[in-house]
Amino acid sequence: MRTYDLDVRLTQRQSDSDVKHFLDLVRELEFAGFALESSRPLGQRFHEKDLNIIQRVTLTPRSATRLRSLVKNQRNQAALLVIHGRTKPVWLSAAEIPEVDMIMLQDLDDFTIIDSQISRALANNDKPVEICLQKLLSNKGPARSRLMRVMKNAIDHLLRAKCNLILTSGTTDYWGLRAPRDLAALGYLASIPETEAKNAILQRPLELIKKLQTSMNSGSSKPHRRKD
């Protein structure tokens, strides 16, 4: 089954050769596409007919009050709008905003804040939760062990609430891209049960893509493929 890595963060600092290597690896790993975040347009280098390249915007609001205005301003700039909250009020508010497509967890502080109340709010509003594995891959020794312990506690809350989890690489170059099987294995290492880890890289991203496509077809969202 072909799937998506919904968190790719390449920038114009990557050379054309780097971009070519990345796209070749995406195809080799049999991804159907990926969600691309960039601080500025990347032009025709990312206009690939055989890959569905989704424009992603991640917001990190400082307060729940600021969140709604940011979402309103950025909604039309993204096919995939993601909130990286830093406080409990932000996550609770993001859970209730229909225009928010997904919630991202990545840092130690993110996982520390997650509790049963936040998890239930996300599940009740059918808000997918991205578990970005970039920090798990880059941390070593005690830092990684601590992150894994905190991740386990947060993931336990999310799974008990029956939240839909999505695993991503958060890669900033082609060296950080991981095959779907490897991402699922990392999820299992982070205490996600094997079946749920597989669903988090195969089934859940496809479900979200279909939802985004439905929104696009209804005219409530911009096209997913970049038109640079």
Give the tokens for residue 47.
């206009």
Alpha carbon of 117 to those of 22, 83, 106, 124, 161: distances in Å? 39, 17, 19, 11, 9
Dump pLDDT digits (tens) for 148-204. Answer: 999 999 999 999 999 999 999 999 888 889 999 999 999 988 889 999 999 999 999
Alpha carbon of 178 to those of 145, 198, 200: distances in Å? 21, 14, 14
Q: How remote is the C-alpha of 133 from its chain's centroid?
A: 10
Rounded mean pLDDT of the chain?
88
Instruction: Give the three-class secondary structure for 162.
Output: coil
Q: Which of 15-29, 55-69, 86-100 has the lowest mean pLDDT?
A: 15-29
Distance CA 95, CA 28 (A): 35
Top CATH class of 3-217 equals alpha beta
Judging by beta carbons within 10 Å of its beta carbon (0-12, 13-18, 19+), is residue 30 exposed, middle or buried?
Answer: exposed
Question: Residue 226 has what pLDDT?
Answer: 39
Dump pLDDT digits (tens) for 100-114. Answer: 999 999 999 999 999
Strand order of the sheet with strand 165-168? Answer: 3-8, 31-36, 52-59, 80-83, 102-105, 129-132, 165-168
Dump pLDDT digits (tens) for 128-153. Answer: 999 999 999 888 999 999 999 999 99
% of the chain beyond a pLDDT of 70: 92
What predicted TM-score, i.e. pTM, was given to this entire model? 0.91
